[in-house]
Amino acid sequence: MNYKLFKSSITDLNIAEILESKIDFDKLDESQEYDISAEFYNDDLQEEVLNENVAFEIKRKHYLFIKNVRDLFEKNGIKVNKFYLMGTIVDLNENEINFSLLKSNYDKKSNTIWPCKEIFIFEDSKNKLDDLLFNNQISEEDYESNLEMLKDELNIYENDDEHRYIN
């Protein structure tokens, strides 16, 4: 089940009420365990272009959001195992949250927080490229080319001039 919250932020004091108005808890199976994935517009990244000098910090507000949501589900008799919280400035508009509820394949509680989804995807894909290069499955030229394409795809720039066009 997917929900899109507009004009909402993970720092909203009434985020539990907002979610409770969207989710029909009576339709959820109390014997089923769930995982939650929440993608939010991360205002902290708005000031900076995504580059290697930006600090992608996990903050108190991230944990408070997870706690509020977990408390809401617990209050309604629903067990949540995995909780993924991903920040972005590319996929969402300001003050939007994408919220997904999935049947869980896990058996214990855990929280995963990535303040910047684009860096998470970049790191995962870069690790795969590193393995391919290390195992001589691609050349250095292919590695560098794929790395540049990945950066372009995720709007990750090493400096401001790289994404400005001069006509």
- The stretch 39-43 carries a mean pLDDT of 88
How long a stretch of residues is the chain? 167
Confidence of residue 155 (pLDDT cuts 50, 70, 90): low
Compare 2 and 65 and report the one with higher pLDDT: 65
Calpha distance 10→42 (Å, rounded): 9
Global pTM value: 0.72
Alpha-helix residue ranges (DSSP H) falling in the chain: 15-22, 43-46, 60-75, 117-134, 140-153
Q: Which residues pair with 129 in a beta bridge?
A: none
Mean pLDDT score of the chain, rounded to an integer? 83
The first and second tokens of residue 84, run together, are 């993924």
Q: Which secondary-structure segment (H or E) carries 74? A: helix 60-75
Confidence of residue 53 (pLDDT cuts 50, 70, 90): low
Q: Using the predicted structure, report yes or no on whether residue 154 has a pLDDT greater than 80.
A: no
Using alpha carbons, select from 86, 81, 93, 68 the residue that is nearest to residue 5: 93
Q: What is the pLDDT of residue 162?
A: 40
| Distance set, CA 105 to CA 34, 59, 109, 119, 156 (Å) | 8, 27, 11, 25, 32
Q: Where are the beta strands (DSSP E) in 18-59?
A: 33-41
Determine phi and psi for 105, rounding to 5 degrees: -110, 5
Counting residues of the chain whose pLDDT is more than 90, the rounded percentage is 38
Confidence of residue 51 (pLDDT cuts 50, 70, 90): low
